[in-house]
Chain A
Amino acid sequence: MTDKELIEKLKSSPQAGLAAVVDRYTAYVMKIARTKLNGICSSEDIEEAVSDIFFKFYQTGQSCGFDIRSVRAYLSVIAGRHCTDVFRKHISSPDILPLEDAGEIPAQEPLSDNRTALAAAIKKLGEPDTSIFIRKYFFGQKTKEIAEELHLNPKAVDKRVSRGLVKLRKILKEEA
């Protein structure tokens, strides 16, 4: 089911739509949560984080009538932020994190120019560098895993990161 179809379903029938979103994206969200939280949280906590992410998706989506363009992008942002929250709470306190303390994710957070400029600059790096940067700095994936999944040598990944940082600086400077 495409994102467009999922959004239509969420609008016409939130329950069936949410079930379809969970069915379609559990593996993806689980991978984000595992990448960010493996070794920090138990597998039960990770599963709980995944279910919280879908619930937040549903809550924030509902508040804007599911007027969203991409379920995947929306879920990715919520997953990234929620895992960061869980990560921080577990680092500072090993106790279980209650959902209501995890903080709300604004559905349409206002953008700062810097962040848009940075995202656009990362996009401009081109593949495979864009993937490497998103995996390393957004998903928190390790060089070895990135290398395996992108069929690259780990040293090549590191080299691309250091070159990419120089390129990013240049792109941002030129466009400033």
Chain B
Amino acid sequence: MKRENDELKIDLSVQDAELFEDTFAGFEENAEVTDAEKKRVLSSVMRKAGFEMNEIINEKRKNITASKTDDTEVRRGRIQVKRGGIIAACIAVLTVGAVTVGMLHMNNINADIPEPAGQPTVEGQSTDAEDTDTTDDNAENIMPDLVGKKLSDIPSNIGYTLGYYTIDEYNSDYPEGVICSQSIPAGTVLKEGVTVALKVSKGTMIAIPDVSGSESEVAEEELRAAGFNPVVKEIYDEEVPEGIAIKTDPAPGNKAAFESEVTLFISKGKLGEPETVTVPDVVGMNEDEAMLLLKETGLCVRHKDVLNSAEKGTVVEQSAEPDTTLNKYDDITISVSAGVTEPVKLTISTPLPADLRGTYRIDLCDEDGTVKYTKSINADTLGDVKTFDFDLEGIGAEKFTIIITSDETDKSVIYGEYAVDFTNKTADIDQGLNTDDLLALNPAEWQ
């Protein structure tokens, strides 16, 4: 599947993103991940973040009691042991240091753990970076099966190179305080410095009640009474009226952890009803005031000059009645008095190229594209100095586009644009006349 780069367009800053927390939460609704994927990601992240025993030792060295640190030296992130028979004790003490800051949850640490069999030792003050890598055949370095055991019962000497952290979660199978899963399977040979995540049950799950059809506040209260923490999300719904509970996530009947979050979906009414605004009364205001007020209301304003005896520039009519409701950004047209009651008459004469031949229809269109005036000409009978005239009537300022269409081929060109000022009785041609394109419409024998 090929995709284009332009699909990745918006780059939000952190501050921007905070605006969209609810939107992001909505995006998460259908997110799914398997336990295995979750476990792999967790393990990979913890590894990248350096949460391994030797790193923890570095970080927490200051917490280690003096009597024990005498026997250890941390060098280049690896543990060196100067005297045999104390490594287990050192590790245990280091772990106590970690526990004091909440990094680890080792319990019942015994600093007098006997020297594990087969433990390599280094004598003297050697500064060589000789590691204390454990041997794989050391029975104490095999990950034990902790599932089903109480966290408080875990022996202090499980795999002396092992640290662990806990994640609390509700679980229907295990009572509170009991380990329900471990990130490293039982029987795995533990390498130096690994950490294991233990999920500890926070207790059993409870069934979610059906609150659909209840009013928002009632539904929230029912969920709270049942032991959940409702998180309200408003969504559009074609059938359920506004303010009424539609469903919950997880769905009713499913079990969820006590005090866990349950998303409660409340109807916002029918799908996609746009934001609305109330139309203000702008009749009688001057044009600028009216434009400003309507824009602030959230409407798009158009204006037209009309014949009216009211002072020039006064709004005499609005296309939507005051106090009615419109969608935000809808158009509203205000009619502005031109200060006159009779339209101004004006005749405009436009030159044509002397080489033009054939018969044509000439249309004058207003800014909306509506043909306001039309006439036919025969260029062959116009003589050497060719022009065409239009008698216009109007008020204020208007723009017209001249479109000339060949009767023979039905092809059209935009010949030019007029900016007509009826008040000052002037007409300017914007950007010149397009004589080249017009001559291209000449009958074939004249090309």
Contacts and interface: CB of A to CB of B under 8 A. Distances in A.
Nearest to A138: B10
B45 A16 contact: no
A152 B273 CA distance: 12
| Secondary structure class of chain B's binding surface, majority of residues | mixed
A31 B28 contact: yes
Contacts of A97: none
B67 interface: no
Interface string A119-152: 1101100111011011101111000000001011
Interface in B226-256: 234-237
A167 B330 CA distance: 10
Interface string B96-137: 000001110000000000000000000000000000000000
Interface residues of A, number: 75
Interface string B323-351: 00000010000000000000000000000
B414 to A, nearest CB: 25
Contacts of B139: none
A69 B18 contact: yes
A27 B11 CA distance: 21
Contact of A28 (B7, B27, B101, B272): B27
A158 to B, nearest CB: 13
Nearest to A131: B23
B26 interface: yes
Contact of A81 (B11, B16, B41, B271): B11
Given A19-B167, A27-B33, A152-B272, A108 B14 contact: yes
A66 interface: no
B19 A26 contact: no
Contact of A26 (B26, B42, B49, B102): B42
A74 to B, nearest CB: 6
Interface residues of B, number: 61
A138 B26 CA distance: 14
A40 interface: yes
Contacts of A32: 27
B274 A126 contact: yes
B76 interface: no
B447 interface: no
Contacts of B12: 76-77, 80, 115, 119, 138
B42 A19 contact: yes
A63 interface: no
Contacts of B38: 22-23, 26-27
A104 interface: no
B275 interface: yes
* A16, A99, A107, A116, most chain B CB atoms within 10 A: A16
A126 B22 CA distance: 12
A28 B29 CA distance: 8
B186 to A, nearest CB: 20
The 9 closest A-B pairs by CB, nearest first: A39-B1, A31-B31, A119-B16, A73-B17, A51-B44, A27-B31, A13-B102, A55-B48, A27-B33
19 contacts: A15-B56, A18-B46, A19-B42, A23-B42, A31-B27, A72-B24, A73-B17, A73-B20, A77-B13, A77-B14, A83-B8, A88-B5, A116-B13, A127-B268, A134-B10, A134-B20, A138-B9, A151-B237, A152-B271
Given A51-B44, A120-B19, A138-B10, 11 more contacts: A15-B49, A16-B165, A18-B51, A26-B38, A31-B31, A51-B45, A81-B11, A88-B5, A107-B14, A138-B12, A140-B3
